[in-house]
Amino acid sequence: MPITIGEPINERDPNGRLKVNIATVFPKTGTIVTAPPHFHALQRLAYLEGLKLSRQHEGLPPLSPAQEEKVMEEAVDLVADERGIFIRPNTARMDLAVAADEVLQEILAKRLIRYLWLADGTVRGVLKRRGESWRIYQPPTEESQIVKTIIESRTTISGGTVYYYAASSGTRVLTFTEFSRLEALPDEGLKEQLREIATISQRRNHRGCPEIVFFEVRDGFAVSPADIDASEVPIRTIYQTMRDRFRAAVGDDYRADDLGNARWRNRMFSWLMSDGNSEPLDPESMGLDPEFSMRIEWLPGARIDDGELILDPAIEEPYGPDRRRQVPRVVRGLILNIAQEFDGLEYVNVGKLLPSARRNAQRGGRHEVYLAQIKHRQAPDETLQIIRMQKWGVAERLDKGHSLERAMVESEEYTEYILYRLLACRQLRMNSPQHLMPRKVGETYDGTNSCYRGQRIWTPYFLRDYVDGIATDRMPARKLHDAGYAVEFARLFGQAAASNLVLGRAELTGEAVFDVGDELVIEDAQGHPVEIAVTDHVGTFADWQGKLESRGPEYARPVIARWQTVANPQAFAEAYVAGLREQFQRIQNDYARNRRAFDTLFKHQSWARDDGSLPSRWARVLERLAATDGPSLCELIERCIRAGVSVVTP
């Protein structure tokens, strides 16, 4: 146990307030100094004086000046508040910060111990390599809450310039959009607002945080009082020069205040949630799409030291506002599986994906999705894997009252169905992930079937590579405003729609499943769209009996929804329909050229016509494909687009 000089670090007074706000750790001796005076420098001196006396009593020689200096340098500063204990690391000696962390863990729950300077790459890197990304990134937040927080943060100082106020730090964030709006002011009002910005942006508040920051500036843009008051140049000319410099200092994604742009929205939210000690964390630093990254709750992971797997002890700790939440029990098993399967690991971080607000609530079964960040010792970068639990596994079938044997058999059959269904998707030109690996993880059943409660079962899941792309339904408006980009995207979008339509992808309630977040636009190095990948083929073959023409209005909807956003709506619609027509023709030609190969793809499985099995659905889908007139289908969709546009266009 650590030695504490002073009050215990988590001691509270009769009013429930912490007694200690400042402390210093000496990791080498496992000592925590909390005694007043509450200044880190004075606590260091107090420890050193105590060490000298101790050595004197033990008959040891006095410390040399160099040894005294080393003792002082090997101390680690702590700051405490109601949120927990914060380690203030020296980024040049992260080994000391980690050692102090381990000393504190002997007396405190790990989730109460936090780090400052998380925006520093050195600090983040050390934590990530220890399987502790959960200590870096903020909890996932629903998009609606992010939007609400941003809207409600808008404020002014004198009633003029609008800022986004970060309550946690007291900093006001000024965007290029709001700075640009000052142009509408008369000269005197403009000068007054520029003077406000120039004066207050030079200050820091009582927390030591800047009063005003300029949102996402890259090149040190600033507004100086001298630029405004000590110049003979007209104020409007001064402002226009500032505005142009501000614009040049901000990246394309951050020049427009756009709540619909996930990159802008999530970055602003990060600023608003920042504690003000440094720039906020960039959600993309994990190599993830901004919208996707904000839906991940990072959980305790593991690291490998000298070949030994060390699970983060926080995996056993309760957490959350009420300290009642538990890390899902399956996470431990997933980490163990990854450690066995991926040899030569350095670390693994695991995150749980927050359900999408657009997911159909009527879908039954299990829908947990995890993300694993895996680092091999010999690889330069991490790899990202998506882990999706099988919708209908052993537990879900036991819950229905089935016997364990029947539940296991049906679970295996469903795994086979999913893999064959993916094969069918690729056969009909759906661009789906090329590596979907079925795996199992052991769990203890605790469901509603009392006969098997406590029984060890094996739950199936699927592992695939993370696809880095932009969801079609989350495409930033600025990209669609680019006529060239929009047309190329529309052509690829139409191709994806054709495969989706042929495969009968639909909800059990009947509506088509398309453009709901599963289709990701992949861009090249220049930012041009080159393909659309479908990362989830749920709902495939749900519609295997209806006519394709009945889906015309639904496949016109993606164009209608973007009609007032794209640069050239007519060109966008034409490119979409052209892509759909081309892809539909390719699929029909594939089938015509290799009809026997298509017809016998699932011949080895026993089935009866229209029995609902995959082979029977496959046969009907192929019959429907051959019987459908492609040009007529596309003309129908064109008519549906025109009809829909006439309603949404003023």
Three-state helix/strand/coil letters over 12-36: ECCCCCECCCEEEEECCCCEEECCC
d(CA 14, CA 84): 19
Pick from 209, 186, 183, 212: which is nearest to 199 by CA? 212
Structure-model confidence comparison of residues 396 and 251, the more confident one: 396
Residues in CB range of 312: below 8 A, 6 or more apart? 110, 130, 131, 132, 134, 300, 301, 302
Architecture of domain 470-648: Orthogonal Bundle (1.10)
**CB contact at 8 A, 614 and 424:** yes
d(CA 410, CA 476): 43
**CB contact at 8 A, 523 and 517:** no
473-512 per-position pLDDT tens digit = 988 888 999 999 999 999 999 999 999 999 999 998 899 9
In degrees, to the nearest 5, what angle opens at C-alpha 496 toward C-alphas 491 and 501? Answer: 125
- Domain borders along the chain are 3-117, 143-284, 297-465, 470-648
- In the sheet where 470-471 sits, what is the strand order? 470-471, 519-523, 529-534
| pLDDT confidence of residue 223 | 87
Average pLDDT, integer, range 197-212: 87
| pLDDT confidence of residue 219 | 75
Pick from 395, 367, 365: which is nearest to 455 by CA? 395
pLDDT > 70? residue 281? no
- At residue 273 the predicted structure's pLDDT band, cuts being 50, 70 and 90, is confident
Average pLDDT, integer, range 525-533: 94
Average pLDDT, integer, range 357-384: 83
Average pLDDT, integer, range 38-49: 90
Q: Is 222 left (phi over 0), alpha (psi -120 to 50) or beta?
A: beta
**CB contact at 8 A, 520 and 469:** yes
Percent of the chain surpassing pLDDT 90: 67
pLDDT > 70? residue 363? no
543-594 per-position pLDDT tens digit = 999 999 999 999 999 999 999 999 899 999 999 999 999 999 999 999 999 9
d(CA 548, CA 555): 10
| pLDDT confidence of residue 220 | 76
Query: Can you read off the two tokens belonging to residue 268?
Result: 């602003």
User: What separation, in Å, do the N-terminal and C-terminal C-alpha atoms of the chain show?
Assistant: 73
Helices within 382-511 (DSSP H only)? 394-399, 404-427, 477-480, 483-502
Residues in CB range of 361: below 8 A, 6 or more apart? none
| pLDDT confidence of residue 285 | 60
How many C-alpha atoms does 199 have within 13 Å on its Cβ side? 8
d(CA 123, CA 120): 6
| pLDDT confidence of residue 426 | 93
pLDDT > 60? residue 221? yes
Q: What is the pTM of this model?
A: 0.83
pLDDT > 70? residue 609? no
**CB contact at 8 A, 336 and 315:** no
| pLDDT confidence of residue 287 | 67
**CB contact at 8 A, 424 and 540:** yes
Structure-model confidence comparison of residues 321 and 173, the more confident one: 173
Is the bond preceding residue 37 a cis peptide, omega within 30 degrees?
yes
d(CA 395, CA 274): 41
Query: Can you read off the two tokens belonging to residue 217?
Result: 């500036």
297-313 per-position pLDDT tens digit = 999 999 999 889 999 99
Average pLDDT, integer, range 22-49: 91
d(CA 563, CA 565): 6
**CB contact at 8 A, 129 and 301:** no
pLDDT > 80? residue 294? no
pLDDT > 80? residue 644? yes
pLDDT > 80? residue 286? no
Average pLDDT, integer, range 315-341: 91
Pick from 413, 395, 414: which is nearest to 404 by CA? 395
Pick from 618, 569, 616, 564: which is nearest to 591 by CA? 618
